[in-house]
Amino acid sequence: MDGRFNTIAGWVLGAGIVLLGATLVTEELFKAERPETMGYPIAGVEEEGEEGAAAEQPIAHFLQTADAGRGEAVFRKCSACHNAEQGGANGTGPNLWASMGAPLAHVAGYAYSDALRSKGGSWGWEEMSQWLRSPRAFAQGTKMTFAGLSDPQDRADVMLFLNQRGGSLQIPPPPAAAPAEANAAEGNAVEGNAAEGDVGGPAANQAAPAPAAH
């Protein structure tokens, strides 16, 4: 009886040892490191963040092609809380007539948040663009609950519409080309000159040397 028990116990112990060894071998074979960046990259989609923000053109670029009609259509998203009519009453948000170029928190009788009232400055093109892009980032603690307009062309269109509603700002000139763009344009010009020489430019018009006399 004891011999049979010992035999069974030995089988169980051996099976356990084999199972433990197989588990360790399997873990080593299929071991994978946790990737630093989770998820799968999608071709053509840029990650949001500082690099994406830095890549955006200055708002003056989009103001060159801004359209007040489009801006009025986008402004309908704001009309639940604001109006832009001369003499219009304040709603959940202040009346926006003559807001472009005016000081921040300028509407008399409206209870602005301390965050906006203490910020100072005026509603210039850049300031209004930053506000429309993300009110909370522009003035942390603002009462404004609107998430913002991520499309800079939408922001430029809305600002042009508001500027025509009693605003006082002039459209800024287009921004100067970035150094990288200027260098690329210069490189293209150099390549163009080289190609001209290949097909009949100054280099091609030079006479070929006469063969030496024998």
pLDDT, tens only, 111-159: 999 999 999 999 999 999 999 999 999 999 999 989 999 999 999 999 9
* CB-CB contact of 139 with 128 (8 Å): no
pLDDT, tens only, 44-69: 333 333 344 457 899 999 999 999 99
Q: What are the domain boundaries of the chain?
A: 56-163
* CB-CB contact of 56 with 152 (8 Å): yes
- The whole-model pTM stands at 0.60
Please tell me the class of the 56-163 domain. mainly alpha
Higher pLDDT, 145 or 210: 145
Instruction: Enter the tokens of residue 104.
Output: 């921040």
